[in-house]
Structure 1
Amino acid sequence: MNIAKYASVFNIGLQNTFVYRWNYFLRALFGLIPLAGTVFLWSAVFKERGGGLHGYDYSSMIYYYLLTILVSNLVVPTEDEWQIAADIREGQINALLTKPMSYLAYRLSIFLSGRLVYSFVTLPPIAVIFVYFRDYIVLPTDPLIYVLTIVSILMAAFIQFFITYSLAMFAFWILEITTIVFIVYSFEYFLGGQMFPIDIMPSAVQAVMKWLPFYYELF
């Protein structure tokens, strides 16, 4: 594999994505609004229960959602599935397949460039949120945890990319993949731990969820 040509694709992806940096910034900013609802919801839950919930207290639950927002912004693609589906539907993929280049590696290069720009643009508002909720944050003291965290985030990004790529492949058989994408992402939101921590669910349900890729994306 010639790395140089995919590096060129990566650079082009950076330039194209950076044009929409303010769009990404506003998307990330308004994407934080549900956090306010989450804070009020769990505040009411813990006040009603008067104690913890499956090993979580109010502080650890807020910390969990802060980390979920951070990881989600780092790994979740923006419009990759729609772009791949458009390539297939409009026949643009034919020109790419006839070139000495892997279409999978081509799309992966664009995905990584998009994640880099999106992370760069969205981290400032997320950092502000972390500072605001700093009383709920407990940073690990072991440096190895930070290394493993980076590795885990990279692996989660690859899982997310391959899910996105697989969904886009349905465009070979059906004209519009919107319904399939929204159905899968709805399951992903629920089964990936974005709605609530997975380990508060019954152990039998957790055992089933461990066989699904969503379990390893955010949780």
Structure 2
Amino acid sequence: MTFGITPPLTASPPSSATSAARLGRMLEPSEWAAAGIPVLSNAREVVTGLHDRHLPGPSTAVVAVLDPGERVTASASFVLRTDAPDGWEFRNALLAQLRRVTPHDLRLRAPVRTAVLLYCRDGEPLWTEADGAWMWGLRDACTLHGLRCGPYITLTRDGWQVFGEGPGGRRPYIGSRPERPRLSGPAQRPPSPSGRHDGGVTTGAPRRSGGGSAEAHRRTAAR
């Protein structure tokens, strides 16, 4: 369901200028709260639906696109590990996933669909520099794909938390079992010759599950 993106081992140590630029590509909680991010009417349904679909583990990001009725029309999960979180790198990874699973809305005068990000990590549910970099990356990726920037949500072993608007809960959490049976889909492709799996992708017309949340009706694996 996921694939890894690992920085090259030969990368040179960052300079002070590079570090300063990297720190500039992240958003503080106050900046995120002031950005006018839309509030989900039922955040728990969205979080539970994405968790049940992708079963994300630590260092996994799940990006999803919601229609105006907050139904999930497309989603993708991927793993990106880095010792120095950089919003530019996160932006590029999110944009690549969005381009794989859904067409852009750049021709529209105003965005009608919303992208949300569920990031799974170890540690406390408090804000970290990595969270700030993901926020910056999500906002920029949405702009470049013609989407409205939606909530940033963390999933830890303590539960889930929506940054900026307050809602959270103890379930789901990293390692928890799905609350509903996972949707059926094609068997996972075998590993590529490089040993790296393709990302977990959900696309297609939405449908309602037993709990009332909407999810895509089929899963495809795309390179």
Normalising to structure 1: TM-score of the pair? 0.31
User: Which has a greater percent of strand?
Assistant: 2
Which of structures 1 and 2 has the bigger CA Rg?
A: 1
Normalising to structure 2: TM-score of the pair? 0.31
User: Which has a greater percent of helix?
Assistant: 1
